[in-house]
Amino acid sequence: MIRHLMHINFDGQRGLQEQVRESLISAILSGIFSPDTPLPSCRQLAGQLNVSRNTTALVFESLVNEGYLISRPRSGYYLHPDYHNAGQSVPQNAPLCESDAPCWSKRLHITPSQQESILKPAGWMHYRYPFIYGQPDTRQFPLTTWRAAANWLHGGVRDPAWVVDHIDQDVPMLVEQIRTRVLPKRGIVAAPDEILITLGSQNALYLLTRLLMSPRTRVGVENPGFREAINTFLLSDTQIVPHAVDGEGLVPGESPCDYYYVTPGHQVPTGVTMSRARRAQLLSFATRHDAVIIEDDYDSESNFSQNPLPALKASDRSGRVIYVSSLSKALSPGLRLGYMVAAPEIIDEARALRRLVYRHPPTNIQYQMAHFLAQGHYETHLRRYHEDSARRWDTLHNALRAFLPECATFSGSEHANAFWLSTPGQISTRQLTWRAAHAGVLIEPGARHFLDDAPPDNFFRMGFHAINPDAIVPGVKVLRGQMGQLA
């Protein structure tokens, strides 16, 4: 029984001690071991698992030190009394009486799951040609320098301030790095009390929605646009006012809105950069009509254009631009670190609201990112990331010109982090997406980005960071074959 119990399918990417300990903890908490019977000895367990005796001895000693086991000389290791009845504490599922269960559908005030959203297939990373957007090549993550920042954080030579609850405050070191290292590259000057750390830019949009929007609020958005931002605004039953996008960005309408949400660096999803003239026009329009602009500079760090235009907020002279961006887009989206730049009054209220939701982003990650920035590791990673992105962009651009010349790209979208393409009118991109996926090629149909009642079905998006660079050209060729069968 014990031999079967302690079988482990070892993962070569993890430490042996870690996996042996994890299995023993699971067995203890499940109530497998008898209180009166010793656990297998270090030698026996090492033989069963085919690991060194030293490995099992270290694991057993750590479990003794932490109160899971007790050691009896010349007898062996036994369960600590606190865990004699561990298995009995696991609750058993009782049969549910459906007639007594609440009717949750009547209690829900909002149903975010019913919103139109941009979804990626489960297991997209297992496709041979994943031309999807927003996922990096994990092999590029700077693991060595990120680990060095973690070692700095966890070293014993300083006060571990990150273990203390900061209540609603951010790590000053990270705020200062953003203020002095990150924002100046976008032409933005900000004081510390104008910066708030968030769990990504999406979280910043949520905070702004709760603070500023109501059913009476009119929000001008780009069409096509970023669905997740629009879905967030709709949580307050906001009136969404679609605005067309041309080669210069969002086109201001005749009827003014209270807020305008824009992605001027590279518009989502077209990739177009808002022109200087359009920026000036939008700022002037907002001033005349007492409107506020929410600038989502989501690719501020991943933008690999040679000379990108400064942020829209850099030209803001009346405090009408609220700026949100991400620190993790080009590093690892899973880190979920972003920030907001706005007037101190907005930041104060957003900080108070954030406290009610999750208090503050984890301080250990804030400290680690701050050190990563201060040591220049982030800048080094961005330089390599930009060089790699430019090579990938060129490869996909040339492949599209050679094998899919009939798929026009949106004007003004050069060096965006994805290609926004249109097929000849008779080809449905939803059908193309389905056929291509069965051939191992993932593309993103564009219809979901539109707010029209009958959205066009001839647009699609292709990213290039998640795919192996050597697979870009073969993938385009496979897509060419699938498109040819629909023509």
Query: Mean pLDDT, to the nearest integer, of 47-51?
Result: 84
Identify the pLDDT of residue 45.
Answer: 86
Highest-confidence segment of 94-98, 262-266, 406-410, 415-419: 262-266
Identify the pLDDT of residue 95.
Answer: 65
Residues 127 and 218 in one domain: no
Among 375, 398, 424, the domain-final residue is: 375
> Is there a domain that residue 146 lies in?
no
Residues 358 and 261 in one domain: yes
> Is there a domain that residue 75 lies in?
yes
Per residue in 232-256, is it b (16+ CB within 10 Å) or e — as a string?
Answer: bbbbbebbbbbbebeebbbebeeeb
Residues 402 and 279 in one domain: no
> Is there a domain that residue 143 lies in?
no
Query: Mean pLDDT, to the nearest integer, of 332-361?
Result: 95
Structure tokens at 286: 């907002």
Residue type, 334: G
Task: Please determine, for residue 157, whether its predicted confidence score (pLDDT) is greater than 60.
Answer: no
- The CATH number of whichever domain residue 387 belongs to comes to 3.90.1150.10
pLDDT band at 2 (very low <50, low <70, confident <90, very high): very low
Residues 319 and 437 in one domain: no
Among 83-87, 221-225, 248-252, 422-426, the minimum mean pLDDT is found in 83-87
Task: Please determine, for residue 433, whether its predicted confidence score (pLDDT) is greater than 80.
Answer: yes
Residue showing tokens 């489960």 = 122
Task: Please determine, for residue 13, whether its predicted confidence score (pLDDT) is greater than 80.
Answer: no
Among 351, 375, 399, the domain-final residue is: 375
Environment class of 299 (CB within 10 Å of its CB; exposed 0-12, middle 13-18, buried 19+): buried
> Is there a domain that residue 103 lies in?
no
* Helical axes 53-65 vs 42-49, angle rounded to 10°: 120
Residues 289 and 335 in one domain: yes
Per residue in 327-342, is it b (16+ CB within 10 Å) or e — as a string?
Answer: bbbbbeeebbbbbbbb
- Residues across the chain: 487
Phi, psi of 484 (to 5 degrees): -65, -30
Sequence-ordered list of residues with C-beta below 8 angstroms from that of 128, at least 6 positions apart, any chain: 440, 441, 471, 475
Identify the pLDDT of residue 190.
Answer: 96
Identify the pLDDT of residue 1.
Answer: 37
Residues 411 and 315 in one domain: no
Residues 272 and 331 in one domain: yes
Q: What angle do CA 374, 380, 386 make, to 5 degrees?
A: 135
Residues 338 and 408 in one domain: no
Residues 355 and 415 in one domain: no
Phi, psi of 195 (to 5 degrees): -125, 135
The whole-angstrom separation of Cα 238 and Cα 260 is: 12
Structure tokens at 39: 């656990």
Among 353, 375, 397, the domain-final residue is: 375
- The CATH number of whichever domain residue 45 belongs to comes to 1.10.10.10
Phi, psi of 323 (to 5 degrees): -110, 130
Residues 323 and 178 in one domain: yes
pLDDT band at 158 (very low <50, low <70, confident <90, very high): low
* β-sheet bridge partners, residue 123: none
> Is there a domain that residue 102 lies in?
no
Number of domains forming the structure of the chain: 3
Identify the pLDDT of residue 223.
Answer: 96
Q: What angle do CA 211, 207, 194 make, to 5 degrees?
A: 90
Which element (helix H / strand E) includes 129?
strand 129-130
Environment class of 278 (CB within 10 Å of its CB; exposed 0-12, middle 13-18, buried 19+): buried
Structure tokens at 307: 């000379």
Under 8 Å between Cβ of 340 and 334: no
> Is there a domain that residue 324 lies in?
yes
Per DSSP, 321 falls in state E
Task: Please determine, for residue 96, whether its predicted confidence score (pLDDT) is greater than 80.
Answer: no
Sequence-ordered list of residues with C-beta below 8 angstroms from that of 258, at least 6 positions apart, any chain: 217, 218, 219, 291, 292
Greater confidence, 484 or 313?
Answer: 313
What are the pLDDT digits (tens) for 436-464? 999 999 999 999 999 998 999 999 999 99
Structure tokens at 272: 């177009």
> Is there a domain that residue 356 lies in?
yes
Under 8 Å between Cβ of 260 and 212: no
Q: Which domain holds residue 395?
A: 119-134+380-486
Identify the pLDDT of residue 3.
Answer: 41
Identify the pLDDT of residue 90.
Answer: 55
Under 8 Å between Cβ of 257 and 138: no
Residues 307 and 390 in one domain: no
What are the pLDDT digits (tens) for 177-199? 999 999 999 999 999 999 999 99
- Whose CA is closest to 389, among 329, 443, 442? 329
Residues 221 and 319 in one domain: yes
Greater confidence, 100 or 95?
Answer: 100
pLDDT band at 159 (very low <50, low <70, confident <90, very high): low
What are the pLDDT digits (tens) for 50-71? 888 888 888 898 898 888 999 8
Give the distance, in angstroms, between the CA of residue 87 and the centroid of all CA atoms in the same chain: 38
Which element (helix H / strand E) includes 326?
strand 321-326
Q: Give the mean pLDDT of the chain.
A: 89
The whole-angstrom separation of Cα 45 and Cα 55 is: 10
pLDDT band at 214 (very low <50, low <70, confident <90, very high): very high
Task: Please determine, for residue 408, whether its predicted confidence score (pLDDT) is greater than 90.
Answer: no
Q: Is the peptide bond before 160 cis (omega within 30 degrees of 0)?
A: no
Sequential DSSP letters for 206-232: HHHHHHH--TT-EEEEEES--HHHHHH
Greater confidence, 92 or 117?
Answer: 117
> Is there a domain that residue 140 lies in?
no
Among 228-237, 299-308, 381-390, 430-439, the minimum mean pLDDT is found in 299-308
Under 8 Å between Cβ of 422 and 459: yes
Q: What angle do CA 475, 478, 479 make, to 5 degrees?
A: 85
Query: Mean pLDDT, to the nearest integer, of 262-270?
Result: 95
Task: Please determine, for residue 156, whether its predicted confidence score (pLDDT) is greater than 80.
Answer: no
Which element (helix H / strand E) includes 281?
helix 276-288
The whole-angstrom separation of Cα 348 and Cα 351 is: 5
Identify the pLDDT of residue 475.
Answer: 97
